[in-house]
Structure 1
């Protein structure tokens, strides 16, 4: 295992250093293929020479690189008061040997699927522990996980609690035992509720989107990324209505979707460009390939979201019923319609059929957890079922939680300074003012 440190960089109110580590693809074969893992260390200018402890951020996803901050604000501003922040690009994302159809093109479908099995939370935590030992004198550090990053926090508590001083979770407490089918049975209900909220708030949105759906069914409309726009793709915009400011973004996009020209009604080129920016399937393939596997323990997902959707026929659009958005669901047709997913279709099928995923959690071990943990649970979260989160809270030792309806799933992005500060106060047993 080797590491490299780059020159110091200065941002607005922050000082950053870039770290690159060479770590095993497969920790069972430590001398085998190596991959690169990138992490950005951030300090405040006044604290850069101080030996402050680290707080490591685990990004949501799976399949997304760590945030790229442009100024000292949000949760980072609170963290820098007492920590050095480490923004970790999880393996396969950002600058950490990124995965794409191009990077996997030299492998067969079987080889691609096998390669991708090494990109779940278990190996993300092995990477983090290897980095901790290289960056510190084996000192403990603090971790913060958002969404899927919260899954990584629970996995860290399960696998390597000796490396942790404290832990924080926002919008991401997984069930320790429930399978993917149960997760989607719950989240489809939440997506239905978010649809109702959206169309109640924006009274003309149903008319706008049905007009757009009719147009793209009757005319071939090509996205900026080259695909034909389909109704199924249009439904995927629903992943945004579970975020703060997401419903507004979707509505404003729909408002300008259709324009009148001398040749008749057409889809606005602005819509076609912005639509691609609101969906990440072409640019972040791990999300589509491995999302369902984050729930799998000794079982296959077998396209759980697709199968469970059959229990909710209202999501199957036709012109004689209301249009509904879908949510954070992955469907097999995505690998037929999205340009950058098409080359990975066979690998995706193999991953969906994989039955021997290792167990992620040891219930007895987590019950005896000694690391102080505090989580923010958002009662209206579209992506994480509140009742399943509370089930887990009851099974994990030393875990305190703050249940609130104030925020959507991306609360830490919108009010991170306040959220992290409150979690720190709760975790350390101090009275809230």
Structure 2
């Protein structure tokens, strides 16, 4: 095996695989899928089972390891870990406005719709056949990666020896509107907690919002900053250390000059680093589709945007508390973010699409024999605890650990402990 790089306690090997864009037309257009294989230095000559990591998202490349630490450290004690760049991300064939530019809007929509969890799992099966000689392997999914795990258990359970999920058990039956109605309520609670913890945050955000509303303010990336865009920073308040990072950003947003208070160029530079919409367009294009299935017989139709009307407190008015939004996608993204503007028409076509395929097979999951262990975070802002518990009752052989110790990104903050806990539950064949 050719080792491509040596990190702190890790050796890394790069793999590229060719897969069909459309598995219904296997001889048609091909995509390149990148996988980084890592193993601890002390185990590099051993034949170890594979653990495949499915990244959160959709639309984000796999974690780039720096050293043997966190969940990777625990995994490398007994596995070779495969860090999969899901199609359209990382070093896999990219999907963005430049790669789609040669297609019509309808062709773009047809193309983008091949980048959901069903094809991510099909890609994994191509890789398993070539890299693991069709031997079953273990999988781990964080957030949206957990949605991929449930798809894998539905479509190819024979490929799996065990599965682990952190902060990512989806509803198998509920529509997007149900999901967002629950999500807005959790975001309201996170806002209340944020303003309770940081006593001057309300005055800081009010001053900033009013300044943005009354002045033309442009980000370092060229976009005009709007109050609605400012509210998007709330995507961070559901993460461990996210509220702190947001507060410190707001704290230095304005400063005094001889002409009066004005916006800080440092804030304008750092703002865009808190949001991923320009750099990860799949997230904006396909996020709502992860809640769409054939039996719904309807599209998402900008679900988060429509459901927001039921929560008018999120519509900022001067003199009232500004409420941050969360992991919601709005149609105006494709009018305000520079890298999304060329995708406005395709985004509308995807939002209206109603003939999505089913992602999960409840009948298969009811009979599941693959050991599954999951961490469910009771305070999770992004994945509703109650819906996760509903699903847990429909997946046979699933054990879960329900905890309030962590936010959604717990695996990033204390991954070694969390994965060790899940592996221990699996080994003991625990019953919830």
TM-score exceeds 0.5: yes
**Which runs of structure 2 are paired with 1:223-262 in the superposition (5 Å)?**
223-262=219-258
Residue 343 of structure 1: CA displacement? Answer: 0.2
Q: Which residue is 1:222 aligned to?
A: 218
Alpha-carbon distance in 2 for matches of 1:117, 1:241: 30
SS of alignment partner, residue 395 of structure 1 = coil
SS of alignment partner, residue 176 of structure 1 = coil
**Which runs of structure 2 are paired with 1:31-430 in the superposition (5 Å)?**
31-298=27-294, 299-429=298-428
Residue by residue, what CA displacement relative to the aligned partner does 1:357-386 show, whole Å, maximum 9, x if unpaired? 001111111000000000000000000111
Alpha-carbon distance in 1 for matches of 2:2, 2:96: 25
Residue 8 of structure 1: CA displacement? Answer: 2.5
Residue by residue, what CA displacement relative to the aligned partner does 1:25-77 show, whole Å, maximum 9, x if unpaired? 00000000000000000001111111101100000000000000111100000
Alpha-carbon distance in 1 for matches of 2:214, 2:355: 44
SS of alignment partner, residue 97 of structure 2 = coil
Alpha-carbon distance in 2 for matches of 1:27, 1:122: 10
Alpha-carbon distance in 2 for matches of 1:280, 1:6: 34
Runs of at least 5 residues in structure 2 that lack an aligned partner in the other structure: none
Q: Is the 8 A contact 1:58 1:88 kept in 2?
A: yes
**Which runs of structure 2 are paired with 1:16-31 in the superposition (5 Å)?**
16-31=12-27
Alpha-carbon distance in 2 for matches of 1:389, 1:415: 21
Alpha-carbon distance in 2 for matches of 1:84, 1:98: 26
Residue 430 of structure 1: CA displacement? Answer: 6.9
SS of alignment partner, residue 247 of structure 2 = helix
Q: How many residues align?
A: 428
Alpha-carbon distance in 2 for matches of 1:339, 1:8: 36
Residue by residue, what CA displacement relative to the aligned partner does 1:144-180 show, whole Å, maximum 9, x if unpaired? 0000000000000000011100000000000000000
* Two-structure CA RMSD over aligned residues (Å): 1.1
Alpha-carbon distance in 1 for matches of 2:99, 2:260: 42
Residue 128 of structure 1: CA displacement? Answer: 0.3
Q: Is the 8 A contact 2:3 2:11 kept in 1?
A: no
SS of alignment partner, residue 387 of structure 1 = helix
Q: Is the 8 A contact 1:6 1:19 kept in 2?
A: no
Residue 262 of structure 1: CA displacement? Answer: 2.9
Alpha-carbon distance in 2 for matches of 1:430, 1:390: 19
Residue 137 of structure 1: CA displacement? Answer: 2.1
SS of alignment partner, residue 401 of structure 1 = strand
Residue 7 of structure 1: CA displacement? Answer: 4.5
Alpha-carbon distance in 2 for matches of 1:137, 1:97: 24
Runs of at least 5 residues in structure 1 that lack an aligned partner in the other structure: none
Residue 6 of structure 1: CA displacement? Answer: 6.0
Alpha-carbon distance in 1 for matches of 2:207, 2:3: 54
Structure-2-length-normalised TM-score: 0.98
Residue 280 of structure 1: CA displacement? Answer: 0.1
Q: Is the 8 A contact 2:15 2:35 kept in 1?
A: yes
Alpha-carbon distance in 2 for matches of 1:24, 1:167: 26
Q: Is the 8 A contact 1:377 1:402 kept in 2?
A: yes
Alpha-carbon distance in 1 for matches of 2:114, 2:388: 26
Q: Which moved more, 1:258-267 or 1:197-206?
A: 258-267
